[in-house]
Amino acid sequence: MERAELEKRNVGENLDALMNLDPRGYGVCRILYAGSRKKMGEPLTMRAAGKLCETVRENDLVFILTGFVLLPHKEPEMDGMVSSMLLARSLVMAFGAKPVIICPEDCMEAVRKCAGVVGLHVYEDLQTVRELPLSMGVLAFTKNPARAQMEAEWLLKEAVPSAVISVEAPGANERGVYHNAAGKDVSELEAKTDVLWEMLRLRGILNIAIGDLGNEIGMGAIAGHIKKYVPFTAPEECICGCGGGILAASGADHVITATCSDWGCYGLMAALAYLKRDMEILHREEMEEEVMRVASRSGLIDMTGSLLPGIDGFNIRMNTGIVSLMRQCTDYAVRYSRNSDHWFGPVLKKGFFAERG
């Protein structure tokens, strides 16, 4: 291991730790992280960001699958949607890419209203997105399982992305049933974007799945670990009667698990900022707050059902705090770590990190 590798690894460790802070205290995020880290073999955020840097080029389309509709109000939640908007901005800033959010119809208005907050023009016509600068796309995907395959095929005839990222997007279990966190059947509420996801994976498209429980697209990548340790995920543990548990069947080549999916996505963006040596790729606290407020006013709800701005029960102050810490840790490494060059060589020579791969 060389100096640059040590710094990169430890910045990744910082971001992974921040996205897995556990204010609730019940430990599910730590359970998930143990499984995903073992599967990936290195810091999750930095690994995924590195793959994006290797793959995405200027004007490439990048699909972002998101949008989880919640009971009992049957309204979409903020988690996943907020960070997807900010991720779209980061992809434009980092690569000059053309991000396309694919979500249920319920989320379309929120995307349109939040696009201006992150500084992007938003279009449903992908040719327009390709042609115009500072642009992103948004497409509604069907909730009808009988139409999902056909819609996915139509879309891929028009556009094939260089990467696909799912952020808190619902995934069906092995029996085709979509569940909420408590184990209830929410199949009729959810867009069937996991059908598109699997088609892209089969084509070898770079895929990154971000989740916080196990019922999201891609979490089947660590199925054995999740079924063993996370409640309601194993067969017969859901309460809907399907007998399949809430674990999504879809797999992923790259997984990020976090306390809430948005925090995992922020970690990914911070890692991109580090690798590109450009802190503008990661949004500032003020933009986080404004996106949360506009999303809330556009019909998105907190996990608790509250109409006040919140992500998985965490208010604006908590979320801006996470973003702030990620910015500060990453910015310090980008700007100041060279001041500590005299430490890197001696630390490496002692062999602690070599022994841990």
pLDDT tens track for 272-285? 999 999 999 999 99
Q: How confident is the model at residue 339 (pLDDT cuts 50, 70, 90)?
A: confident
pLDDT at 353 over 90: no
Q: How confident is the model at residue 7 (pLDDT cuts 50, 70, 90)?
A: very high
Q: How confident is the model at residue 357 (pLDDT cuts 50, 70, 90)?
A: low
Higher-confidence position of 350 and 357: 350
> How far apart (Å, rounded) are the C-alpha atoms in residues 228 and 169?
22
For residues 94-121, give the mean pLDDT.
Answer: 98
pLDDT at 233 over 90: yes
What is the three-class DSSP state of 308? coil
Q: The domain spanning residue 332 has which CATH number? A: 3.90.1640.20
For residues 170-176, give the mean pLDDT.
Answer: 98
What is the three-class DSSP state of 44? helix
Percent of the chain past pLDDT 90, that is, above it, reads 93
> How far apart (Å, rounded) are the C-alpha atoms in residues 352 and 357?
9
pLDDT at 355 over 90: no
Q: Measure CA 13 to chain center.
A: 17
> How far apart (Å, rounded) are the C-alpha atoms in residues 90 and 150?
31
Which amino acid is residue 285, in one-letter code? E
The pLDDT assigned to 1 comes to 82
Domain that holds residue 261: 3-355
pLDDT at 26 over 90: yes
pLDDT at 41 over 80: yes
* Torsion angle of C-alpha atoms 340, 326, 251, 155, degrees rounded to 10: -120
CB atoms within 10 A of CB 45: 30
Q: At which residue do the structure tokens 């019940």 appear?
A: 26
Mean pLDDT, rounded, of the chain: 97
The structural domain count of the chain equals 1
Q: What is the tens place of the pLDDT at every residue in 54-101? A: 999 999 999 999 999 999 999 999 999 999 999 999 999 999 999 999
Asked if the peptide bond before residue 72 counts as cis, ω within 30 degrees of 0, the response is: yes
